[in-house]
Amino acid sequence: MQSTNPKQLRAELKDYLDLAAKEPIRIQRRSGDSFILLKEVAYEEMQQEILSLQRRLLGMSDVISGNTQEYKIGDRSRLTRLTKKK
């Protein structure tokens, strides 16, 4: 990951935007605050991954706490919410 400061970013914005299409760029202020510049598609992918991991975590917490029901092959009662109503 490349690093820069706001002054250099402003001076070479086009170059940094082209680079951000390939890899994230850290922008660090003198105060120590850091920001990351990255392609929007990469940001959206990270958001989707976070959502997926949160769902898995919720599912695993149900398993650990015992809030599960056994599914028996051929038992369609638990699948009714997934089937189309006619």
Q: What is the CATH number of the domain that holds 20?
A: 3.40.1620.10
Q: Please give the tally of structural domains in the chain.
A: 1
In a domain, 84, yes or no: no
In this prediction, residue 34 carries a pLDDT of 96
Instruction: Please name which of 32, 36, 33 lies closest in space to residue 9, comparing C-alpha atoms.
Output: 36
14 or 84, which is more confident: 14
In this prediction, residue 46 carries a pLDDT of 94
Domain containing 25 equals 1-62
In a domain, 14, yes or no: yes
End-to-end CA gap in the chain: 54
In a domain, 24, yes or no: yes
How many CB atoms within 10 Å of residue 20? 17
pLDDT tens digits, residue range 25-41?
999 999 999 999 999 99
In this prediction, residue 12 carries a pLDDT of 96
**Token representation of residue 81:** 């919410």
pLDDT tens digits, residue range 47-85?
999 999 988 888 887 777 777 777 777 766 666 666 666
In this prediction, residue 70 carries a pLDDT of 72
